[in-house]
């Protein structure tokens, strides 16, 4: 960890406790800052808040008083808090800087930084890169939006280590100096417009990942979307990836994976299913080859890595039927990727929170669906969708009931896929809880 003095005696407001706020407050205190944590929730019984108070950190809960801005020079905010809340709007009007904790992580990190963002696939790419590093002598430290607070990991990183950090658009809006040696953008589609307001603002947030890069750095980018770079100054070396044609980075030709003309392995050796995952694999290979990771380490991952939990995750094979958990598919785009990943007949478990959208985006992706198992608020819409496409369907109480019903209709060689295309909040607190219920039911059936 770099022993920086930028925050010594500086009055810093940490907005939002949660996991990142807790770690941020501890780090700033360690760096000599005068720290205040502010959260709208009642923190009376919160153990983290109690610990921070014992360290000398001021904790203010239940409200966001604007008077906090009178005494603080900097705000480090939780990424999920939108900029239109009154406290932040007033901070902007007063020109008080607002950052996210990944900026702190970069400032204290002694090692190399690899940063990954994108609408879909960023967690898989981050995990693939980490796994490839794990098969090599190099040390890769996973952090960021993948679930490990970056500023905590950065405190342990040495000069020879590499931080592999997944970043959301929310986190990227709060960077100033942050400069990864290798930046990755997996893809950019429409998302989080409730937070960003417009698609242009969302794209702008994603593109900040490379804004500070120089000619010694690399940007790994989806070749199919290279047109998106036209409106942004790129000072780094761009390495494109494509599953469809040769490009200057990682690509596939004749069922073989290449990087800059060198054969890495055959597509047949890859165990992770789906064309979208081939894109994730190509992005990961590009990063690792640029990082000096050997082909042997890369192949060791490609022949064993079966996926991230809740993301087209293989669960079990029962009576010749393969079960996959894709509970993370909380929108129709993610479900198109999952449905397209299988050539076998699919028994599709779908439904959840009704956000007002339709399912017409799936019209051209259900040709191999054998039967639908429908649950949640969107049941009427999905029944209409099934009828429109002449797909047999079962109405189910929840995911557990849907998984159990598949046993009555499946045949060996077929696939059962939980890919809801909807958020979970009508019946489950998170998509993880929904996916775990599916896994538990499948294991009971086995």
372, 335 contact by CB (below 8 A): no
Q: For residues 150 and 105, what is the distance between their CA atoms, to the nearest angstrom?
A: 6
Any known ligand binding at 124?
Answer: yes
Bridge partner list, 75: 13, 98
122 assigned to a ligand binding site: yes
Task: Tell me whether residue 120 is annotated as binding.
Answer: yes
End-to-end CA distance of the chain: 48
SS3 of residue 80 by DSSP: coil
Helix axis angle for 122-134 and 295-302, nearest 10°, is 120
| DSSP code at position 14 | E
Q: How far is CA 73 from CA 25, 77, 171, in A?
A: 15, 13, 20
In angstroms, the CA 105 to CA 76 distance is: 12
Ligand-binding site membership of 413 (annotated): no
Strand extents, DSSP E, 40-120: 58-61, 74-77, 98-99, 112-117
Give the pairing type, strands 250-253 and 237-242. parallel
118 marked as binding residue? yes
Query: Hey, what's the torsion of the CAs at 268, 274, 278, 283, to 10 degrees?
Result: -150
The answer to whether the beta carbons of residues 396 and 363 sit under 8 Å apart is no
**How far apart, in whole angstroms, are the C-alpha atoms of residue 146 and residue 123?**
6
Pairing of strands 256-259, 262-266: antiparallel
The binding site comprises 118-124
The binding site for ATP comprises 118-124
């Amino acid at each position: 960890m770099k022993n920086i003095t930028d925050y010594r005696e500086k009055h810093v407001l940490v907005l939002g406790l949660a996991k990142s706020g807790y770690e941020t407050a501890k780090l700033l205190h360690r760096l000599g800052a005068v720290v205040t944590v502010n959260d709208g929730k009642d923190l009376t019984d919160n153990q983290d808040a109690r610990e921070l108070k014992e360290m000398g950190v001021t904790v203010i809960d239940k409200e966001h008083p604007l008077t906090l801005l009178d005494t603080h020079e900097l705000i480090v905010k939780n990424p999920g808090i939108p900029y239109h809340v009154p406290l932040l709007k007033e901070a902007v009007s007063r020109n008080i800087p607002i950052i996210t904790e990944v900026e702190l992580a970069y400032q204290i990190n002694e090692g190399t930084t690899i940063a990954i963002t994108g609408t879909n696939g960023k967690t898989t790419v981050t995990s693939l890169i980490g796994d490839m590093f794990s098969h090599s002598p190099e040390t890769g430290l996973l952090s960021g939006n993948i679930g490990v607070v970056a500023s905590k990991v950065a405190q342990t990183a040495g000069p020879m280590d590499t931080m592999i950090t997944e970043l959301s658009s929310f986190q990227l809006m709060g960077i100033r100096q942050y400069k990864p040696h290798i930046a990755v953008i997996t893809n950019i589609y429409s998302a989080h417009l409730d937070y960003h307001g417009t698609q242009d603002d969302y794209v702008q947030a994603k593109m900040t990942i490379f804004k500070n890069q120089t000619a010694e750095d690399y940007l790994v980018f989806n070749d199919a979307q290279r047109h998106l770079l036209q409106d942004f100054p790129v000072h780094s070396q761009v390495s494109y990836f494509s599953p469809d044609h040769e490009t200057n980075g990682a690509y596939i030709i004749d069922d073989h994976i290449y990087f800059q003309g060198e054969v890495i392995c055959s597509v047949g050796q890859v165990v992770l299913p789906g064309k979208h995952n081939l894109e994730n694999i190509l992005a990961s290979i590009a990063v690792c080859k640029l990082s000096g990771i050997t082909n042997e380490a890369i192949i060791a991952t490609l022949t064993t890595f079966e996926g991230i939990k809740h993301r087209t995750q293989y669960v079990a094979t029962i009576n010749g039927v393969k079960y996959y958990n894709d509970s993370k598919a909380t929108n129709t785009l993610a479900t198109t990727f999952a449905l397209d990943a299988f050539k076998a007949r699919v028994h599709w478990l779908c439904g959840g929170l009704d956000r007002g959208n339709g399912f017409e985006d799936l019209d051209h992706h259900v040709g191999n669906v054998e039967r639908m198992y429908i649950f949640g608020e969107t049941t009427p819409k999905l029944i209409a969708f099934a009828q429109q496409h002449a797909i047999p369907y079962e109405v189910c109480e929840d995911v557990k009931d849907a998984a159990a019903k598949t046993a009555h209709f499946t045949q060996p060689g077929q696939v059962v896929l939980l890919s809801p295309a909807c958020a979970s909040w009508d019946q489950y607190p998170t998509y993880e809880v929904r996916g775990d219920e599916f896994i538990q039911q499948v294991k009971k059936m086995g």
